[in-house]
Structure 1
């Protein structure tokens, strides 16, 4: 996609919105225009005023929900990428949101690393939807995938080439905790080493 220069952030929590704004400016390392709104109606007004390159929406917006906003603006969009930010952990809600043809779905508890990755995902022109690993893990559990959400998140990060220490840092936990998750994943997958665990992961992804 073209470079991101105009962003709308819809979040009724001011501190959260300002934090996202600051992080985006840091990641993009350029001067971008950011427009903040604290309700669904304000977000719609900003969109109709001028379509942005990127729109980040909290689902729990007052007056008009983030889902309602998406249903209205996506059919009108010519270029905008839509990313949903949510604190929810309901797989049924995630499925409902994904049906709106969004471009990214992130948990509000996500790390700076995941924000960086979704921006890179767009700027590299990758197809599909960027899904936060923790969201993907919850969806997998709902569909009968044998791993817990956290185990899936660890394995997904392993598949991206992260070391155990890097995963511990990203998930804000100890190295010994990650080693425990790795052992559980190994037992469930029948793998004998990291390479076999990652191969098992990719096989499951292809066949889902």
Structure 2
């Protein structure tokens, strides 16, 4: 019985996929079940591969790996996606993880890190390469994610409108606006409206 971790690779750089193929095959715990150079190729073949872990590039020639990650994890809930990419921007990393990726590696990661990532996500853990881990820890406290509605409300608060006036403008009850305002104070860690408005401008949230 084959107990090795079955790995699929999706990347349009053939030299990189060859290197990854060799790396995985030479390990004593994993084997490559398939390689695709586009999202469509992967779609056509993944049902035959039955991979446990998929190494997925964020930049594919026919589709964003971010969108493809969501599609894959929706259609194959047991599949573990390990992003392997040259992108190290906070927003890209965050969106990949939101869309179901179990781990994130940059392409200059050491071979040992790639193998450790495969093992970790297969075992149900999250895995971030050292560079990405540092990036997330550095960015997290400063990066505030607001919904479109929250941004709209923040803009009106900054313009000096009262809860009742805002409620009238965006067709919600004053009670709902009060709740939104309270949430914004909590989200930004502001102790009052004046601080909230100052932070909104400082952090370019509006």
Task: Note the C-alpha offset of 1:5.
Answer: 4.4
Question: Which 5+ residue runs of structure 1 have no aligned equivalent?
Answer: 146-208
Task: Note the C-alpha offset of 1:50.
Answer: 4.1
Contact 1:8 1:46 in 2 (8 A): no
Alignment TM-score, normalising by the size of structure 2: 0.62
- The alignment partner of 2:135 has SS state of helix
Partner residue, 1:143: 140
Tell me the distance in 1 between the aligned counterparts of 2:12 and 2:54.
14
Tell me the distance in 1 between the aligned counterparts of 2:118 and 2:89.
24
Question: Which 5+ residue runs of structure 2 have no aligned equivalent?
Answer: 143-206
Tell me the distance in 1 between the aligned counterparts of 2:120 and 2:108.
19
Deviations 1:83-124 (A, max 9, x none): 10110121011111110122111001100121121133245x
Partner residue, 1:83: 82
RMSD (Å), alpha carbons: 2.2
Partner residue, 1:41: 40
Partner residue, 1:7: 7
Matches within 5 A, 1:109-188: 109-122=108-121, 125=123, 127-144=124-141
How many residues align? The count is 141
Structure possessing the higher radius of gyration over alpha carbons: 2
Task: Note the C-alpha offset of 1:27.
Answer: 1.8
Deviations 1:12-68 (A, max 9, x none): 1000011011101112356x3431111111112122344311211101001112122
